[in-house]
Structure 1
């Protein structure tokens, strides 16, 4: 029988320690019914793609089997949902070979915008170009560095790396750069790139949703970390509001700073979303505030439950214990490693404040489906 690490594809990256649910601090006090509802969303997406699972990895097949048991249950109470997870999953603490578990936060920002450019709204979010080729996890393309996750076709039917942020902003895409919407500030567009989605309150009074549609595949660099390294800000007191204020107040240096992040995100209008829906995550379903977790997609299957133990900040001075069951429903270019996650807080300014404060060491426990 293969080890848990081998079965998970984690060989060389982490050790998985089998636990009992009694080992999870605060397990009995969580709202398992809320987690179960989020889990069902992932299950419906997994079931919809089940025809493709004939060649899928064993963890996905085992998770689908659990999902089909979940479909038999509706409107579970907290106690019933807790028993469901305890019956069908085995918890494993994730011990990375390097570093410790680390959790950050993200949210769906809201900004003002316009469908057409004018003196106020002149910074575009771009649609996915038709020559962008996304490289699937574990695959590569000739002529493309294996660390890149996208490329573009050349006239000679080959491939080349996709332009970086600086080149795209300087017009490298030409007519392929079709704007989806226009914003006021470059820093606002950059924050949307980092978060991967946004609500745009248009100048005609309507609200537009934009969702992730692809990226240029270049590596991600945290500009906040760069500012800390330069001594411009202190890590302990940095907030998203302070970062955005710096970008707005220092347009020249901000432009050079943002271009240090070579990664560039493309968007689409998400007109299929209802007003109360969360943004679309990497798994293709609306995210659930406080229950959706972004993980390293190269290591973990969408839909897996994760138990997190740590702290959730309210402010720089105040925090509450984090003891929560979350579902892997998204990913991100900065989310790399077996015990690295991004906690989805929801939409709007308040969610943004809390998301910007979360950068804490956290214990990660993955719930693996039991072998049927």
Structure 2
């Protein structure tokens, strides 16, 4: 169960307490912040965006107008990675390309919870309705496309179409990696996206049942306005940036806010990123998904990531102090 908001704590810390702050590339972080700050609704964020557009010294900009705030909900910090997959597909079905990428049906839009993944894939409910955006050649890659929420489909003529998250069927996300561990197939430290894919392909019947363990099903929309050299659209409807954008839980962290990352593990990472996306599995004040980029190499790197650490949100000064508890009289 998620913690009650009464259990959430906010602590203001100094920039000097951010490990590696002085050596980060603040200019790249500022450019990433500018990509979405114009779309933030609150006036204090928009004012800061105006200052940022005036080409200030990047590090001084963050230190002058923000305060680092630790937001904690009692859960341990966890960093994972995500990426934009590239799948092979076509706009028409064939013996190779036979797994449809679906647009969202009107019934799913109208209900908080619609049919499960198993029901969608094993009945004719989607057939003959013109909901197919494209067809791909690998149901396992399609499953992981749904987990990532966006991707590119490479057509036989070498062109690409990009698809983005449109909505879901309202069922909770269940990790098939956790399920493999529960069944005793792997230990937790052995599980990665590639390990899961290979197991499903080696065990077709059991693999299909494993995929159906996750009842959540994601529908897509075609995204035509994003050039091929830009990242996919995040939750703010702007392209996300490799290794500078993160997905967060917006119940705790405002979308568009700068967030300082201190990721531990085999490859420590201390970097200023920007909360520009969300994800169905990203829940909690200290939970983040780091965007690694597009394609197989990014996918391999993202799939291995499951590390502890901490993250600190940079909030406008007045907002930061407003989050502190009222002093006892």
Q: Is the pair's TM-score, using the shorter chain for normalization, greater than 0.5? A: yes
Conserved? CA contact 1:130–1:176, under 8 Å: no
Q: Tell me how far apart the structure 1 counterparts of residues 281 and 13 of structure 2 sit (CA, whole Å).
A: 29
* Deviation sequence 1:57-112 (CA, Å, 0-9, x none): xxx33222211221222xx5xxx211101111110123322x21111100001121
Match of 1:347?
Answer: 294
Name the Cα RMSD after superposition. Answer: 1.9
Q: Tell me how far apart the structure 1 counterparts of residues 293 and 278 of structure 2 sit (CA, whole Å).
A: 16
Q: Tell me how far apart the structure 1 counterparts of residues 251 and 318 of structure 2 sit (CA, whole Å).
A: 22
Please, which of 104, 118, 121 is the counterpart of residue 80 of structure 2?
Answer: 104
Match of 1:85?
Answer: 62
The TM-score with structure 2 as length reference comes to 0.91
Q: Tell me how far apart the structure 1 counterparts of residues 255 and 95 of structure 2 sit (CA, whole Å).
A: 43
Q: 2:130 aligned with 1:183, yes or no?
A: no
Please, which of 174, 185, 195 is the counterpart of residue 221 of structure 1?
Answer: 174
* Deviation sequence 1:116-143 (CA, Å, 0-9, x none): 111111111101223333xxxxxxxxxx
Q: How does 1:271-310 map to 2 (within 5 A)?
A: 271-310=224-263
Match of 2:54?
Answer: 72
Match of 1:14?
Answer: 8
* Deviation sequence 1:225-259 (CA, Å, 0-9, x none): 11111111222122222211112221211111111
Deviation at 1:208, TM superposition (A): 1.6
Deviation at 1:177, TM superposition (A): 6.4
Q: 2:15 aligned with 1:38, yes or no?
A: no
Q: Tell me how far apart the structure 1 counterparts of residues 86 and 187 of structure 2 sit (CA, whole Å).
A: 26
SS at match of 1:346: strand
Deviation at 1:44, TM superposition (A): 2.6
Unaligned runs of 5+ in 1: 1-9, 47-52, 54-59, 134-150, 153-159, 313-318
* Deviation sequence 1:262-308 (CA, Å, 0-9, x none): 11111112121111100011111001000101011233221011111
Q: Tell me how far apart the structure 2 counterparts of residues 13 and 41 of structure 1 sit (CA, whole Å).
A: 33
Match of 1:124?
Answer: 100
SS at match of 2:318: coil
Deviation at 1:22, TM superposition (A): 0.4
Q: 2:10 aligned with 1:63, yes or no?
A: no
Match of 2:223?
Answer: 270
Deviation at 1:350, TM superposition (A): 0.9
The TM-score with structure 1 as length reference comes to 0.81
* Deviation sequence 1:197-250 (CA, Å, 0-9, x none): 111111222222111111112110111111111111222122222211112221
Deviation at 1:330, TM superposition (A): 0.4
* Deviation sequence 1:324-357 (CA, Å, 0-9, x none): 1110100010001111110000011111111011
Match of 2:322?
Answer: none
* Deviation sequence 1:172-204 (CA, Å, 0-9, x none): 345446111111121111010001111111122
Q: Tell me how far apart the structure 2 counterparts of residues 161 and 221 of structure 1 sit (CA, whole Å).
A: 15
SS at match of 1:45: coil
Alignment length (residue pairs) = 316
Match of 1:145?
Answer: none
Q: Tell me how far apart the structure 2 counterparts of residues 300 and 335 of structure 1 sit (CA, whole Å).
A: 12
